[in-house]
Amino acid sequence: MKRRNFLRAAVVGAGVTAFGNRLSGTALAAPAQNGPSPYGALQAADANGIQLPAGFTSRVIARSGQKVASTGYTWHSAPDGGAVFADGSGWIYVSNSEITPGGGASAVRFDASGNITGAHRILANTRQNCAGGKTPWNTWLSCEEVDLGFVYECQPNGPATAAVQRPAMGKFKHEAAAADPVRKVVYLTEDTSDGCFYRFVPTTWGNLSAGTLQVLKAGTATSGSFTWANVPDPDGSPTATRNQVSGAKRFTGGEGLHYANDTAWFTTKGDNRVWQLNLTNNTYELAYDDSLVSPGSAPLTGVDNVTGTSSGDLFVAEDGGNMEICIITPNDIVAPFLRINGQSSSEICGPAFTPAGNRLYFSSQRGTSGSSSGGITYEVTGPFRS
């Protein structure tokens, strides 16, 4: 038996259920597999070098080191994790900067027609701000991907001086965050080869200044049940947070994180997996594993930032790979949604949808130059499923 098929059989035998179960009620029994995209095949590359399905278009909204449209604001280097916030009849796209020193985050403001009306800094003088997450009270959590890194809570409207450090959320190599308004917690990933998965339980929901940091405990299998345990010292020194609780489950490089419908999905780059936490029954399983895909080669590699839509689709950006954003549908199909050509030394970051769900923003962190000073931020418009 081929390794891929053997592993797939082992996972199915261990009782892994479908990614789609939580959304569509289907009863499939494996992580996502190759299949046709609901949007159809990718077309020839457009003028921006992006291959999209029929009916979709792209535009460049910002380039590192250059002014954003006519705003006079210079876009940051190495654009990374991002989110979209409603702003009156328009919206704001927030983007981190994964550089050290400097870091921070910037934002672009749009009117109701999608015209750029402003750009500004919302966080400054931090370190290697990678991903983050949006809160239900409409702030941006910007995470430092460095040892003993912090989470910063930022206002999308700025200014940078309004950002607040949140040490109660733990000092470790942060990656992404996702708020769960049902359980009133914030989930956190850790980008190390032996990292953990955390949740922060605020003393008061909506106020992240105080609370309890907890770590997920589970076995070594790819599916099973989990519990939470308090981290004794969120300060992470002298003992790292991930080494303070016996039985804390290890993940090989935690990356993107998305919450919806009592489920948290997160990616791990060391093994090209998308994990699924079923929060109503405290179980975990695989939503995707590139070594379990058959037939043919896996379309999604270098898993990184992830976001979702109201239709239940996940959009997973690639760090490297062949520079695609892939879709994982509620019926467990994985397929490319877009591909960027001519930027093989870059990675795709910060996918995020507008409130209406008809525009997708993301960045190519190093663009065509392969340098952090060459980042490009894009918008894709089209008939996304709702």
Chain centre to alpha carbon of residue 234: 23
The whole domain housing 51 covers: 38-381
The predicted-structure confidence for 297-319, as pLDDT tens digits, reads as follows 899 999 999 999 999 999 999 99
pLDDT at 296: 77
In what helix (H) or strand (E) does residue 378 lie, and over which residues does it extend?
strand 376-381
Q: Give this prediction's pTM.
A: 0.93
Instruction: Select from 142, 133, 155, 49 the least CA-distant residue to 103.
Output: 142
Task: Classify residue 142: in a domain, yes or no.
Answer: yes
CA dihedral sign of residues 170, 174, 179, 182 = negative
Torsion sign over Cα 313, 314, 316, 322: negative
- Is position 26 within any domain? no
Residue 111 counted as domain residue: yes
Q: How far is CA 186 from CA 22, 208, 210, 215, 247, in A?
A: 20, 9, 12, 12, 21
Is there a domain that residue 366 lies in?
Answer: yes
CATH number of domain containing 353: 2.120.10.30
DSSP 8-state symbol, 342 = S
CB 197 within 8 Å of CB 190: yes
The three-class DSSP label of residue 8 is helix
- Cβ atoms of 288 and 299 within 8 Å: the answer is no
Question: Does residue 161 lie in a domain region?
Answer: yes
Is residue 235 one of the residues assigned to a domain?
A: yes
Would residue 170 count as lying in a domain?
Answer: yes
Amino acid 54 reads A
pLDDT by residue (tens digit) across 195-239? 999 999 999 999 999 999 999 999 999 999 999 999 999 999 999
Q: How many structural domains is the chain composed of?
A: 1
State the pairing for strand pair 333-340/33-34: parallel
9 inside domain: no
Mean pLDDT for 357-370 is 97
